[in-house]
């Protein structure tokens, strides 16, 4: 990866899924070749999300958890408190990169972040994401629009894993999931997110400058858009 390796980091706190996706789409549509890349660190309230491969597959036991179809790649997954996400807005053409190289860099950042907790993360051929002892601990889902990426990566840090039991995570029946707190008791999800963010800045090659936007408060109930 090369060319204008700068990034703006936003820490958005816990924000609703649907307006966040709308904000990602709006940002991507409005950016131009001079727009600086961005990384958004955040969490979502409980939500099942359906990638482009999963839109026709209902969730039989969603309960009170909303189910939202979205435009990212991949199948079905769950997001909830204690699971930091980093959404990645990279101009692939300007950086001289590709989706394959980007996925490799994201997975390496996850492996390096887990190593700080003495946890060995592993890749699995044909199944993007990172696994620990055969259980999935981090999921990737990206979309490319107008030569730039959005959506990103989720790390199970210290969360309630039970909602995963209602789905086939990432479309794989019987796939077991895990979280960092199972191997590193006392894990703080915010700290885990910051560590992942730091490693992403490195593996994605943002060496020319990392800018930090002011933190954002939680979205009030009924909010439909994010103001960035």
Bridge partners, residue 68, by sequence: 49
Question: Is residue 44 assigned to a domain?
Answer: yes
Question: Is residue 119 assigned to a domain?
Answer: yes
**Predicted pLDDT of residue 224:** 43
119-122: Cβ within 8 A, 24+ apart: 119/180, 119/183, 119/184
CA distance linking residue 152 with residue 89, whole number of Å: 8
What CATH code is carried by the domain that includes residue 83?
3.30.930.10
**Predicted pLDDT of residue 228:** 52
CA distance linking residue 37 with residue 142, whole number of Å: 15
Number of helices (H), then strands (E), belonging to the chain: the values are 4, 10
Supply the DSSP string of 56-99, one letter for each residue: T---TT-TTS-EEE-SSSSSEEEE-TT--EEEEE-BHHHHT--H
Question: Is residue 1 assigned to a domain?
Answer: no
Supply 181's token pair: 């707190």
Question: Is residue 82 assigned to a domain?
Answer: yes
Overall domain count for the chain: 1
DSSP character for 124?
-
CA distance linking residue 26 with residue 144, whole number of Å: 13
201 is a catalytic site residue? no
Q: Is the pTM for the entire model greater than 0.85?
A: yes
What stretches in the chain show pLDDT beneath 70?
1-4, 55-58, 215-228
Question: Is residue 36 assigned to a domain?
Answer: yes
pLDDT in tens, 78-95: 999 999 999 999 999 999
pLDDT in tens, 107-138: 999 999 999 999 999 999 888 899 999 999 99
Question: Is residue 165 assigned to a domain?
Answer: yes
Which residue is associated with the tokens 């991507």?
28
How many Cα atoms within 13 Å fall on the side-chain side of residue 61? 7
Question: Is residue 204 assigned to a domain?
Answer: yes
Of 82, 111, 79, nearest to 190 (Cα)? 82
Question: Is residue 190 assigned to a domain?
Answer: yes
Burial class (CB in 10 A: 0-12, 13-18, 19+), 198: middle
Neighbours of 215 (CB within 10 A): 10
From 7, 105, 119, 170, active-site residue: 170
**Predicted pLDDT of residue 223:** 44
**Predicted pLDDT of residue 37:** 96
**Predicted pLDDT of residue 208:** 78
**Predicted pLDDT of residue 5:** 86
Residues in the chain: 228
Q: Which domain holds residue 46?
A: 6-212
> Cβ distance 180 to 202 under 8 Å?
no
């Amino acid at each position: 990866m090369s060319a204008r390796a700068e990034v703006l980091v936003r820490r958005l706190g816990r924000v609703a899924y649907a307006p966040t996706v709308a904000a990602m789409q709006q940002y991507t549509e409005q950016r131009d070749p001079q727009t600086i890349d961005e990384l958004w660190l955040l969490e979502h309230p409980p939500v099942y999300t359906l990638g482009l491969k999963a839109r026709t597959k209902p969730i039989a036991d969603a309960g009170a958890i909303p189910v939202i179809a979205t435009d990212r790649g991949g199948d079905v997954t769950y997001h909830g408190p204690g699971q930091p996400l980093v959404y990645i807005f990279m101009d692939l053409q300007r950086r001289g990169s590709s989706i394959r190289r980007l996925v490799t860099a994201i997975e390496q950042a996850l492996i390096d972040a887990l190593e700080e907790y003495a946890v060995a993360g592993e890749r699995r051929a044909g199944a993007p994401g990172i696994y620990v002892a055969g259980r999935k601990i981090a999921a990737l889902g990206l979309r490319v629009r107008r030569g730039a990426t959005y959506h990103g990566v989720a790390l199970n840090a210290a969360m309630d894993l039970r909602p995963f039991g209602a789905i086939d995570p990432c479309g794989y029946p019987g796939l077991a999931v895990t979280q960092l707190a199972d191997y590193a008791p006392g894990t703080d999800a915010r700290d885990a997110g910051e560590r992942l963010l730091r490693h992403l800045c490195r593996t994605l090659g943002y060496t020319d400058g990392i800018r930090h936007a002011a933190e954002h408060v939680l979205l009030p109930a009924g909010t439909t858009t994010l103001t960035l």
